[in-house]
Amino acid sequence: MELFTKTLFLCLALALTNGAPVQPQDAAVNAAALPDRCAGIEFDAITPDEKGNMLFFKGSHLWTGYRGPAQPSNESFKELDDLHNIGHVDAAFRMHNPENPDDHDHIYFFQDDKMFSYYNHTLEDGYPKEIQEDFPGIPTHLDAAVECPKGECIADSVLFFKGNDVHVYDVSTKTVKTKTWSHLPVCTSATRWLEHYYCFHGHNFTRFHPVSGEVSGDYPKDARRYFMTCPNFGHGGHYKVRKCSEAKIDAIATDDAGKSYIFAGPIYMRLDTHRDGLHAFPITKAWKEVTSGVDAVFFYTNKIYLIKGDQVYIYKTAAHYTLIEGYPKTLKEELGIEGHVDAAFVCPNEHTVHVIQGQTMRAVDLTATPRAETQVVPMPLSDIDAARCSAEGIHLFKGSQYYNYESPMMLALSKIAPVPQNITKAMIGCEE
């Protein structure tokens, strides 16, 4: 899958003023002192933090996220400078160790023979340490590091890079296997994004398989086309995250793995949970047959149903969303209903899809053949944009607000709409 077709971010070159007035000459000096990602620099380290924000390190500076100016790294991680005047890090990664909550999601920084462990930008007690204390068998003066969860690697692991050697550290057994990937460029930083792995070298990157090191596709690619926006560079859907107060979505659904998919116009956003943040793509990147947005979406038995107009598209969720043969079909053929669909949802471990049309909600048994309505009830609301059912209940979205119901039964019995609540960043990744 192509990397980062999602988002066109604004690359800014601003002086750090700390809120004080800056004279033009001082501003020019401060701006000149900041490293510029658009100049084609080589990153020292890249890692997501525990909240899913990607951190890019260069010398004594870092960028938080894919947009905005560089900042001194000791403003976020003050001990990196206060204790040893490090100035830069050799490598960094976010630990994946769910069996050990005292370690899971902690951020590790490496410099020479030392390492630092942070959580919520706070240095853990007992750090810095010698690298060998936590990672026996791992060499000093590393070039790069990246986490590799079980399922993508054989076991929960960390890949440590030094030259062409890759030291694969098993988190559970604390054993190390060393491989030599001479076909891969020497990585000055590495990161994992949406189950893919990237080796950064110079201002370029190369995607590789975390077990074999195999490189598939046309690489290297220029990081400035994918990880930031720079003059004369560009790649992406020109999507800008909306403010929560201005949010309006067309559909929302959550798959069996807990990933939420939010649809707005020609764009869909994947919210992987706080660990991996928000990722936006053109809808046609995943579902090429759906060319003009969607009206409703729901997941059922490892399939995703996309409703647009009077057509239903069903894709297998595995293998990069394969359209099932014979689709699209009409709403009448697939669900036994007709007319415009405003929203649809399926609750966890249930086999009924609830379809909202105007002020009417229709229940359709997905196990029946042929499928047909089993219940039709009036609703106290109209003009619903999207709906989702989860462990937190049912959320009906309307503009920048949502209505919460405990269950489909409570929604069916309700005569008066509850007090609306404002959409939050945690729900759909909007900007507050």
**CATH code at 211?**
2.110.10.10
Mention every residue, 6+ apart, whose C-beta is less than 8 A from residue 254. Answer: 260, 261, 299, 388, 390
pLDDT, average across residues 258-283: 77
Q: How far apart are CA 190 and CA 6, in angstroms?
A: 20
Tell me what the pLDDT averaged over the chain comes to: 84
Number of domains present in the structure of the chain: 2
Helix (H) or strand (E) holding 25: helix 24-33
Within this chain, do residues 143 and 283 fall inside the same structural domain, yes or no? no
- Residue 114 forms part of a structural domain: yes
* Higher-confidence position of 25 and 338: 338
Within this chain, do residues 321 and 381 fall inside the same structural domain, yes or no? yes
Q: Is the pLDDT at 236 greater than 80, yes or no?
A: no
Residue ranges of the binding site for heme: 235, 279
Within this chain, do residues 199 and 53 fall inside the same structural domain, yes or no? yes
* Higher-confidence position of 95 and 16: 95
Within this chain, do residues 145 and 292 fall inside the same structural domain, yes or no? no
| Alpha-carbon torsion (205, 207, 208, 209), positive or negative | positive
* Higher-confidence position of 244 and 358: 358
Question: 188-198 b/e with 16+ CB inside 10 Å = b?
Answer: bbbbbbeeebb
Whether the pTM exceeds 0.75: the reply is no
Q: Is the pLDDT at 7 greater than 50, yes or no?
A: no
Within this chain, do residues 377 and 270 fall inside the same structural domain, yes or no? yes
- Residue 231 forms part of a structural domain: no
Q: Where are the alpha helices (DSSP H) in 71-162?
A: 79-82, 131-134
Residue 190 pLDDT: 96
Q: At which of 195, 225, 255 does a domain end?
A: 225
Residue 8 pLDDT: 27
When pLDDT is cut at 50, 70 and 90, the band that residue 53 belongs to is confident
Q: Is the pLDDT at 82 greater than 60, yes or no?
A: no
Q: Encode pLDDT of 258-269 as tens digits.
A: 788 999 988 888
Q: Are 176 and 138 in contact (CB under 8 A)?
A: yes
DSSP state of 84: T
Q: At which of 197, 225, 253 does a domain end?
A: 225
Tokens of 349: 């471990």
Whole-number Cα distances in Å, 94 to 48, 140, 316:
6, 18, 31
pLDDT, average across residues 71-91: 74
Within this chain, do residues 208 and 303 fall inside the same structural domain, yes or no? no
Beta-ladder partners of 362: 355, 376
Within this chain, do residues 208 and 96 fall inside the same structural domain, yes or no? yes
Q: How far apart are CA 221 and CA 228, in angstroms?
A: 13
- Residue 353 forms part of a structural domain: yes
When pLDDT is cut at 50, 70 and 90, the band that residue 15 belongs to is very low
Residue ranges of the binding site: 235, 279
Within this chain, do residues 260 and 172 fall inside the same structural domain, yes or no? no
Q: Encode pLDDT of 299-350 as tens digits.
A: 999 999 999 999 999 999 876 788 999 999 999 999 999 999 999 999 999 9
**Which range of residues forms the domain containing residue 196?**
24-225
Residue 234 pLDDT: 53
Q: Is the pLDDT at 93 greater than 60, yes or no?
A: yes
Within this chain, do residues 250 and 207 fall inside the same structural domain, yes or no? no
Q: Is the pLDDT at 249 greater than 90, yes or no?
A: yes
When pLDDT is cut at 50, 70 and 90, the band that residue 284 belongs to is confident
Q: Are 259 and 286 in contact (CB under 8 A)?
A: no
Residue 233 pLDDT: 61
Residue 271 pLDDT: 76
